[in-house]
Amino acid sequence: MSMQAMKRASSMLNRGYIQVADEILRDAIVNEALNNKADNARELGLDYEPTVSGTESRVCADIAKRQQLGLAKYGTSVQDNPLSLREWLQHAYEETLDKAVYLRRAIEEIDKQ
């Protein structure tokens, strides 16, 4: 497991975010397992690419499309964007409000039927 993942998880634990710390550690373990699998395949002269199928693959494709739109619109990736944590949280909050509106609209449409 990477030292970076352990530091991030520790930081979240210190702030009381136990579930977030757990997710960080689980992701690190899965990534390590996938990397080991890829390394083992290479040692055997095989190509290994983890495959994602079904709903998960469509979500991954949607994320890739959104990233391309974001790069075109803002000229930078999320990773390289210099916004402060406060600004990121404000963006997430506004997106969540939009989501609430969309959900309410859909519920009202179902209730009309």
Q: Is 7 helix (H, G, I), strand (E, B) or coil?
A: helix
Q: Give the pLDDT score at 92.
A: 94
pLDDT for 101 equals 96
Residues of the chain with pLDDT under 50: none
77-105 pLDDT, tens digit per residue, is 888 888 999 999 999 999 999 999 999 99
The helix (run of H) or strand (run of E) holding residue 87 is helix 85-112
Q: Read off the amino acid at residue 44.
A: L
- DSSP tag of 9: H
Sequence-distant (6+) residues with CB within 8 A of 83 are 91
Per-residue pLDDT at 56: 84
pTM of the model: 0.47
DSSP 26-77: HHHHHHHHHHHHHHHHHHTT--------HHHHHHHHHHHHHHHHHHHHHSS-
Exposure of 113 by Cβ count < 10 A (0-12 exposed, 13-18 middle, 19+ buried)?
exposed
What pLDDT is attached to residue 48? 65
Tell me, what's the pLDDT at 65?
Answer: 92
The pLDDT value given to residue 50: 65
Query: Do 69 and 62 meet the contact criterion of CB atoms below 8 Å apart?
Result: no
> Using CA atoms, how far apart are residues 84 and 100, in angstroms rounded to an integer?
25
